[in-house]
């Protein structure tokens, strides 16, 4: 056992130990001689892209997050523009106290290139306010594509003063990727955080010292099971998460028609005038149109085959589809957001009655149109 001093994994921040192979922080004794030292879990994620079933207990996580309110901190809340509602932290204001919040909206490289960035910023400000989140700034960026990173830095410099920077976000929002950029630009630390598509990569507070004596503090990613990305198999995760700008698929529908998104979800156009439905989902998700009257039959006969992903076997592991009714008033352009899958722009000023079917527990919301 490591007794002389407490040593932390530079990848996920957990305390290292070399006795219990199946527990948090395990590292083989021979690996203790390497620099930087990372736990076996981080090593496997980094080199073999393997996920791990080891996760932080919920009570421990809430304790970590609750410590932010007692710190003198600038809180950087990273959200995913592809899954905005699903990646927002419910009740964040309760945890951070009076500390200022900068909302960093990541993955803007996924939006179609004609998108008006000022309109997106205004939209984000309105949505954050509706959810009770007061922010001092909204910054759009793509950590992966190195877009807007200078604006992130400028915002942090403007608002942090002599505060530590606490970075919070749900899993898969690009938190560790963004922090690795901060490490490269503002710290002498040679290590980097472990980045992975798998939920819960960071397991403890990771403190990265800055040149002025303050720190960037990474917190564990929040695992929200209301997101499809937390429920699907590893095989389907990469298909759900787009890595290129979205190419919207437009369908002209009459009432009484249905769109299937693989076997993961469906949207029924129950009542309304002939209009367009614009789908912003990963190009790897096949969309199939059919008549509403035979939608149930089609799903029963072809789920996991023609309607895929997921496969039949993986579909058995997902919750059953449940129906969410929505009414879009005339004169409104609205999005139906299915957390983790994307969104469908509907309404076209003509109004519509819809029913959205998604796995039980997955967050489905009706919102003001993003684009």
Is residue 231 in a domain? Answer: no
By CB atoms closer than 10 A (0-12, 13-18, 19+), residue 261 is buried
Is residue 284 in a domain? Answer: yes
Residue 45 has pLDDT above 80, yes or no: no
Taking only the tens place, the pLDDT of each residue in 171-223 is 778 887 787 777 776 665 554 544 434 344 444 667 777 777 888 888 777 77
Residue 333 has pLDDT above 60, yes or no: yes
* Lookup result for tokens 């028609």: 257
One domain for residues 152 and 210:
yes
One domain for residues 268 and 316:
yes
Residue 346 has pLDDT above 50, yes or no: yes
Per-residue confidence (pLDDT) for residue 174, from 0 to 100: 80
Supply the range of the domain harboring residue 40: 1-54
Taking only the tens place, the pLDDT of each residue in 57-101 is 445 666 677 788 888 999 999 999 999 999 998 778 888 889 999
One domain for residues 292 and 337:
yes
Return phi, psi of residue 12, to 5°.
Answer: -125, -10
Query: CB 114: neighbour CB atoms within 10 A?
Result: 6
One domain for residues 24 and 134:
no
Strand-by-strand arrangement of the 215-218 sheet: 137-140, 101-106, 73-80, 164-169, 215-218, 206-209
One domain for residues 68 and 49:
no
Is residue 361 in a domain? Answer: yes
Task: Report the C-alpha gap between 313 and 306 in whole angstroms.
Answer: 14
Per-residue confidence (pLDDT) for residue 193, from 0 to 100: 47
One domain for residues 175 and 323:
no
Is residue 104 in a domain? Answer: yes
The domain tally of the chain equals 3
Residue 50 has pLDDT above 50, yes or no: no
Is residue 232 in a domain? Answer: no
Taking only the tens place, the pLDDT of each residue in 259-292 is 999 999 999 999 999 999 999 999 999 999 999 9
Helices (H) and strands (E) in the chain, counts: 10, 16
One domain for residues 75 and 173:
yes
């Amino acid at each position: 056992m490591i007794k002389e001093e407490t040593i932390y994994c530079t990848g996920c921040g957990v305390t290292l130990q070399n006795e219990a192979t199946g527990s948090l922080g395990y590292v083989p004794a021979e690996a203790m001689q390497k620099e930087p030292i990372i736990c076996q879990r981080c090593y496997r994620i980094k080199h073999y892209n393997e996920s791990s079933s080891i996760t932080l207990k919920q009570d421990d996580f809430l304790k970590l997050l609750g410590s932010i309110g007692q710190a003198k901190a600038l809180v950087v809340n990273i959200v995913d523009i592809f899954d905005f509602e699903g990646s927002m932290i419910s009740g964040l204001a309760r945890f951070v106290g009076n500390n200022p919040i900068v909302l960093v909206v990541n993955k803007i490289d996924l939006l179609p290139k004609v998108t008006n960035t000022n309109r997106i910023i205004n939209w984000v400000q309105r949505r954050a306010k509706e959810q009770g989140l007061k922010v001092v700034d909204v910054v759009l960026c793509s950590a992966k594509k190195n877009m807007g990173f200078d604006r992130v830095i400028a915002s942090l410099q403007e608002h942090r003063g002599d505060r530590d920077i606490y970075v919070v976000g749900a899993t898969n929002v690009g938190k560790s990727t963004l922090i690795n950029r901060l490490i490269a630009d503002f710290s002498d630390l040679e290590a980097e955080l472990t980045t992975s598509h798998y939920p819960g990569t960071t397991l403890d507070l990771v403190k990265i010292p800055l040149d002025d004596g303050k720190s960037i503090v990474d917190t564990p990613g929040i695992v929200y099971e209301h997101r499809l990305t937390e429920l699907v198999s590893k095989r389907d995760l990469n298909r759900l998460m787009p890595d290129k700008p979205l190419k919207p698929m437009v369908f002209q529908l009459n009432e009484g028609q249905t769109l299937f998104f693989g076997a993961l979800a469906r949207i029924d156009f129950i009542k309304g005038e002939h209009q367009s439905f614009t789908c912003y989902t990963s190009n790897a998700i096949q969309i199939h149109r059919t008549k509403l009257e035979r939608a149930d039959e089609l799903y029963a006969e072809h789920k996991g085959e023609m309607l895929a992903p997921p496969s039949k076997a993986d579909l058995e592991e997902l919750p059953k589809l449940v129906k969410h009714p929505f009414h879009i008033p005339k004169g409104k352009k609205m999005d139906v957001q299915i957390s983790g899958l994307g969104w469908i722009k509907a309404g076209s000023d003509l109004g519509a009655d819809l029913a959205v079917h998604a796995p039980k527990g997955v967050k489905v919301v009706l919102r003001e149109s993003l684009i």
